[in-house]
Amino acid sequence: RLTIPAAEEILDNQIVQLQDLDTELHSLQESATSYKAAAKNVEKEIETLRPTVVQAKAQLQADAAATRAEGREEAEAMSRMCDWYTSAEEMYKDLFGLESIDTPSENELRLQYSRPVPYTVSLVFNPTTKQLADAKARIPLLGLPGVDISEAIDLAVDANDGRQLLAYARMKATMVANGRV
């Protein structure tokens, strides 16, 4: 049982609550309208960017295909170069009778030849300057200790010319093979 003043007070409170709720509803409706407008703007922006995205995807696929093609071309070129190097190495070995190439240390290169007579040339390089520092050659002379080419070695080291030393050693080996030494 309510008294009239108590009922009027409850009614006044409910009217205030309804006004507050109505104000909040109006504010929320305005926010929803602005959010809808912002969403439409974003949607329009997305639609304008969609062709750019499609174009970028197509360009990315084309670039990826081109990169794969370049990679294949590079691999094929490297394979051809490797084949050429291997065949050139085999030809050189066969032409000059080169049996083996060995690196006993990080700065020494040892070449063993089988023709015209078996002989070995070791080239020692200075690790810092990468220049010829010393060389050794062993050209056997039909059971004797071998041919002395120390003078040619000294000249080659002074000139930093390993190729000339190899040519000289080959010439001496040929002379041994032909019986001229």
* Residues 139/146, Cβ–Cβ less than 8 Å: yes
Question: Which string of DSSP letters, residue by residue, matches 159-179?
Answer: HT-HHHHHHHHHHHHHHHHTT
H or E element, residue 180: none
pLDDT tens digits along 116-175: 888 889 999 999 998 999 988 888 766 556 677 888 888 888 998 888 888 888 888 888
pLDDT tens digits along 39-91: 999 999 999 999 999 999 999 999 999 999 998 999 888 989 988 888 888 88
* Residues 125/138, Cβ–Cβ less than 8 Å: no
Write down the pLDDT at residue 60: 95
Measured distance CA(160)–CA(70) in Å, rounded: 41
Enumerate helices (H) and strands (E) in the chain, giving the number of each: 3, 4
Confidence of residue 98 (pLDDT cuts 50, 70, 90): confident
Q: Which of 130, 114, 133 lies closest to 122, judged by CA?
A: 133
Read off φ and ψ for residue 47, nearest 5 degrees.
Answer: -65, -40
What's the pTM? Answer: 0.53
Write down the pLDDT at residue 37: 94
Write down the pLDDT at residue 39: 94
Q: Is 134 exposed, middle or buried (0-12, 13-18, 19+ CB in 10 A)?
A: middle
